[in-house]
A and B are shown apart, each in its own frame.
Chain A
Amino acid sequence: EAQVTQNPRYLITVTGKKLTVTCSQNMNHEYMSWYRQDPGLGLRQIYYSMNVEVTDKGDVPEGYKVSRKEKRNFPLILESPSPNQTSLYFCASSLSPTGEGGYTFGSGTRLTVV
């Protein structure tokens, strides 16, 4: 089944403890991106990747890192999480940056930083 897999689905962590949210797609998509969704602020892009080893900042990159060493994986790294990073995170992928065929989203990761 074609899908984007994010892990974990739920995570509660403490301020400052490094964490990684994994994202993997099995559709050989070139384009991958991370979003966060917050009440009243909607969906905002954190980082995106046009292809392997090509990443760039979205609207809200502060406090996050990403890497794209393989086509299928695009992990989101929070080096020192803070409470303002409490949010619902989504990973997405598509054939191309134009969203050909639509962007496929993972099921989401609900992160709470205390």
Chain B
Amino acid sequence: AQKVTQAQTEISVVEKEDVTLDCVYETRDTTYYLFWYKQPPSGELVFLIRRNSFDEQNEISGRYSWNFQKSTSSFNFTITASQVVDSAVYFCALSEPGSNYQLIWGAGTKLIIKP
């Protein structure tokens, strides 16, 4: 069965530090999609990235970068030079055709950036 594990429940760093959020997934399908979402204290869910299983290129968007490694079933997220505004809960999610593309979510990692 598909599963997403975010083992880090909470991470606290000081502003300007780099921080990596881990995401490990399990799936039976060869085609699947991985997502990261941010949920700030205001509660909305903000889309960050979607990656399909055939694209293993790492992605960088400003201070954000993602490392997708099929060999270890991981899709880790790094924030460089963190800022207080990055404080939020971050969710990793997986969908696959075998489950009708139902999004399966990790438990989330609460990131606290201290000034």
Chain A positions within 8 Å of B, measured between CB atoms, are: 31, 33, 35, 42-45, 48, 56, 58-59, 88, 90, 92, 97-105, 107-108
Contact = CB atoms under 8 A, between A and B. Distances in A.
A58 B102 contact: yes
A39 to B, nearest CB: 10
B13 interface: no
B45 A90 contact: yes
Given A33-B103, A105-B45, 20 more contacts: A42-B91, A42-B105, A42-B106, A43-B91, A44-B105, A45-B102, A48-B100, A56-B100, A97-B101, A98-B52, A99-B50, A99-B101, A100-B50, A102-B35, A103-B47, A104-B47, A105-B46, A107-B43, A107-B44, A108-B43
Q: Lowest 4 CB-CB distances: which A-B pairs, in order? A: A102-B47, A105-B45, A97-B101, A43-B105
- Which of B47, B49, B108 gathers most chain A CB within 10 Å? B47
Given A99-B33, A99-B35, A105 B105 contact: no
A46 to B, nearest CB: 11
Nearest to B105: A43
A22 to B, nearest CB: 17
A29 to B, nearest CB: 13
Nearest to B49: A102
Interface of B: 33, 35, 37, 43-47, 49-50, 52, 91, 93, 95, 100-103, 105-108
Contacts of B33: 98-99
A74 B103 CA distance: 18
B81 to A, nearest CB: 24
Most buried by B among A33, A44, A99: A99
Nearest to B48: A102
14 contacts: A42-B108, A43-B93, A43-B105, A45-B103, A97-B95, A97-B100, A97-B101, A99-B33, A99-B95, A103-B35, A105-B44, A105-B45, A107-B44, A108-B45
B42 to A, nearest CB: 9
